[in-house]
Structure 1
């Protein structure tokens, strides 16, 4: 199946408080077991000294995210249309998300505390607030960067070299499903656990006449804490004026 890579890259950034995916109703995913690294390999599942299996590496990345606090920063640029996204996860039921269009009037903010999800959406016609039931961070966000790794890394030969306690992976050829793109380059830094800490891809898509740059980076791993935003307390002061808050909630949006 031939993919339209610009649309695929945008899917994970432009969806606002739906997470990095198009649907707000996220299905739980049961991680598949990760095969042991082959003899003579780097020790990272799916990565040898000169090749990569993106599906195995992506699953190792997803597994490494479980039960970790972290900060994730994402930048997406398609010929001047730019979005910046920042996600801070303290634990499964406390996290904060901000996605901003740097060249327009759109932004999405989300804060989860316990069983409640608070969100603020800025659009050209005004601001909308919502309060809903929350879902765990791993269900809402945990698997999407793994999908990017699996989609944008080409299977087979790549350049691999040691970098600190992990590896740098570089390829200048696109996966077979992106056969129409040009000037393709992808780089990833991978920890020994399989956690893909940084990932960047650049290419030109002549089909849509657009140059794409996409990058994500994890930081403050195991050290991220999340504070309640001021806009949440200003909008719903009664939720935080007593020990037990029981706000009205809905399952949509």
Structure 2
């Protein structure tokens, strides 16, 4: 693997996730900014004994694999925006938070990923269309760009299905209904024993709480997970939230910075950077033509 290919691989791993955090992104070393969790809902849920989404039994037990299948089937062929917030908090210092946020905009085979690492001035971006993948990393005043013929698919980055199965498997939930934006959702809520995926980690997990808002078709619009754990001899609180929006209405435009790059070609291996390092004096991470709507990894 040549040097360019290594750079591409590292950038894709940082975005798609093969690390020690829940989705695979690396958390910052010295974060100080506290990320404020968004309230799940201010509405009063209504108890419902009737129908249930796929994979949810009348007693509230969740077959997460079946629910995941229904969720992914619902999204198949639809555009959407996916947003993840992942925080690790020191219980003895509420201001000490590590984590990242990721947004993924999906429209058929075209998608755009943006990941921000806590309060550090680091932004990873990936735009993918039929010509390949275009990577950009902004760290302060330094910008690095790469291209790749094998960027993967949108669900390598918008990993909602995997998180549904990871955090809801085997859960016995209380089921209620609530209205959100004029739609009826089933609110699944459980506390206590964590799912098998967390118990297999060899960590001490406590105070596990999970809440999901699910349509009758099985579309999991929101998933919120909180728990405490002892990880590498450190005690920390974990907060993870996933939200979907813009279903069927999201469009993905090519960012302006992609114009500066040549499309990847097989003869160039896995990457053909046109300007691997360029001064960041004319643009900011926010300057893309991609819509900006309201969008770290599970421990391993």
TM-score by shorter chain over 0.5: yes
Residue 211 of structure 2 corresponds to residue 187 of structure 1: yes
Q: Is the 8 A contact 2:205 2:230 kept in 1?
A: yes
Give unmatched runs, 5+ long, in structure 1.
1-14, 24-39, 240-244
Q: Is the 8 A contact 2:168 2:195 kept in 1?
A: yes
2:107 pairs, out of 57, 72, 90, with 90
- 1:135 to partner: Cα distance: 5.2
1:221 matched residue in structure 2: 247
Return closer, same or farther for 1:184/1:77 CA change in 2, 3 Å cut-off.
same
**Which whole-Å CA distance do the structure 1 matches of 2:207 and 2:250 have between them?**
36
**Which whole-Å CA distance do the structure 1 matches of 2:171 and 2:238 have between them?**
23
Residue 179 of structure 2 corresponds to residue 159 of structure 1: no
Give unmatched runs, 5+ long, in structure 2.
1-9, 20-48, 90-96, 273-300
Residue 131 of structure 2 corresponds to residue 115 of structure 1: yes
Return closer, same or farther for 1:116/1:169 CA change in 2, 3 Å cut-off.
same
Return closer, same or farther for 1:246/1:176 CA change in 2, 3 Å cut-off.
closer
1:149 matched residue in structure 2: 164
**Which whole-Å CA distance do the structure 2 matches of 1:46 and 1:252 have between them?**
42
**Which whole-Å CA distance do the structure 2 matches of 1:162 and 1:16 have between them?**
41
- 1:147 to partner: Cα distance: 1.4
| TM-score, length-scaled by structure 1 | 0.74
Return closer, same or farther for 1:248/1:84 CA change in 2, 3 Å cut-off.
farther
**Which whole-Å CA distance do the structure 1 matches of 2:62 and 2:237 have between them?**
25
Q: How many residues are matched?
A: 214
| TM-score, length-scaled by structure 2 | 0.63
Instruction: Between the two structures, name the one with larger relative contact order (CA 8 Å, sep ≥ 6).
Output: 2
- 1:124 to partner: Cα distance: 7.2
Structure 1 segment 41-120 matched on structure 2, within 5 A: 42-49=51-58, 50-79=60-89, 80-92=97-109, 94-120=110-136
- 1:206 to partner: Cα distance: 2.4
